[in-house]
Amino acid sequence: MGKVILAVCDRNRMYCERLQEYLRNHLKLSFELHAFTDVEKLLQFSKGNEISLLVISEESIGRIRGGNYREIKNVIILDEQAGEWKGEETVLFPDGNIKHISKYLPAAQIAEGVLDMCTSRAEGFGGLLGAGAAGKCHVIGFFTPLSRSGQTSLIVKMGECLSKKHKTIMLSFESFSALPGMFDSEPEEDISDLLFFADCERDRFCLYLERIRKNKNGLDYISPAGTAMQVKEINFEKIRDLIELLAKEGGYEYVLLDLKEYPDGFFDILGLCDVVYTITRNNSADHYRLGNYTKALGDNGYEEIIARTIKFMIPDVREGISYNRYVEALLSEGQEVMNLGA
């Protein structure tokens, strides 16, 4: 698989290096990044290397008159409102897919512009992988038949703990979820969109993943589908293939599944998990629900899921129990289960 080169060019060394560093740290993609403050060095580099995307300041554009850089297909011009180069970008890059962004926008918005360019009709971005080495990926499932159990809050806390040392992503399967509110973001795209791209745009999956994923406190997450009907359209095969892509191309070490509702093939989805956490409560009605759930697993031949399940009660912080320490203890217990199954 060929390298995908992203080049940044600006005569202001501090600006150029800071933009390059921001893109390196915040675009979790396998770009090979190069920064240039000298236009001549950029052009020399381009003769021996295919630049997939050039991010170049307006002033630098003005310094490369007289050439025809047909081989550079995708160009983002950082506008400075000097106007010296006006009308020349199509002469310099006659076959280029050209986008204009203000140089003085926050780096986060410039990074969004890069993603928009990559996921549009632009050429040359197929095969980008997620940052992080592909290796063993652990799938952790969370399911309880009890309502209002605090499951989502627990997963978020556990995911934040894991993400301190491991690349971790959370997938939620709950309609009308409060999760976006917990993360202070209203998504334009959700897991239904990501599953579509995983099926139809597989060679650019990581680009769409980067666009759709959100992050808070180090934990990546994908916003859940909006309605129960959308959740029902998600099935075991789609989730299995998505987890495989997240591991092999996204570089994720842990995938957390918040299983509030029942996608098609629900028990098989639980079977993908290395460990399943199930919240319990100490009353007769909830014992009855949990008993029925466990019986259904056994009756349908899923005894291995029962063996990999950790049942526990959420601690009462009013009794002086540290919630963070409790979550860490649960993670340690889950690691023991995964080690036994390895």
223-268 confidence digits (pLDDT tens): 888 777 888 888 999 999 999 999 988 999 999 999 987 778 899 9
Instruction: Tell whether 97 and 154 lie within a shared domain.
Output: no
Q: Which of 61, 90, 119 is the last residue of a domain?
A: 119
Q: Tokens for 101?
A: 């962004």
**Confidence at 137, pLDDT banded by 50, 70, 90:** very high
Contact 170, 304 (CB under 8 A): no
**Confidence at 175, pLDDT banded by 50, 70, 90:** confident
Whether residue 128 is contained in a domain is answered as no
Instruction: Tell whether 222 and 105 lie within a shared domain.
Output: no
The CATH number of whichever domain residue 57 belongs to comes to 3.40.50.10850
Instruction: Tell whether 48 and 176 lie within a shared domain.
Output: no
| Residue 218 lies in domain | 138-341
Separation CA 151–CA 207 (nearest Å): 30
300 sits in the region (left: phi over 0; alpha: psi -120 to 50; else beta) called alpha
Given this model, what pLDDT does residue 155 score?
A: 93
Instruction: Tell whether 215 and 176 lie within a shared domain.
Output: yes
Instruction: Tell whether 52 and 199 lie within a shared domain.
Output: no
Instruction: Tell whether 272 and 214 lie within a shared domain.
Output: yes
Q: Is the pLDDT of residue 16 over 60?
A: yes
The CATH number of whichever domain residue 210 belongs to comes to 3.40.50.300
Whether residue 293 is contained in a domain is answered as yes
Instruction: Tell whether 155 and 296 lie within a shared domain.
Output: yes
Whether residue 196 is contained in a domain is answered as yes
The per-residue pLDDT for range 187-234, each reduced to its tens digit, is 788 999 999 999 988 888 989 999 899 888 999 999 888 777 888 888
Instruction: Tell whether 287 and 210 lie within a shared domain.
Output: yes
161 CB-near residues (< 8 Å, 6+ apart): 324, 327, 328, 331
Q: Quick one: average pLDDT of 3-32?
A: 92
DSSP string covering 313-332: ----GGGT--HHHHHHHHHH
Highest mean pLDDT among 51-65, 122-136, 313-327: 51-65
Instruction: Tell whether 204 and 248 lie within a shared domain.
Output: yes
Instruction: Tell whether 171 and 315 lie within a shared domain.
Output: yes
- Name the domain count of the chain: 2
Instruction: Tell whether 157 and 243 lie within a shared domain.
Output: yes
Phi, psi of 259 (to 5 degrees): -100, 85
Whether residue 319 is contained in a domain is answered as yes
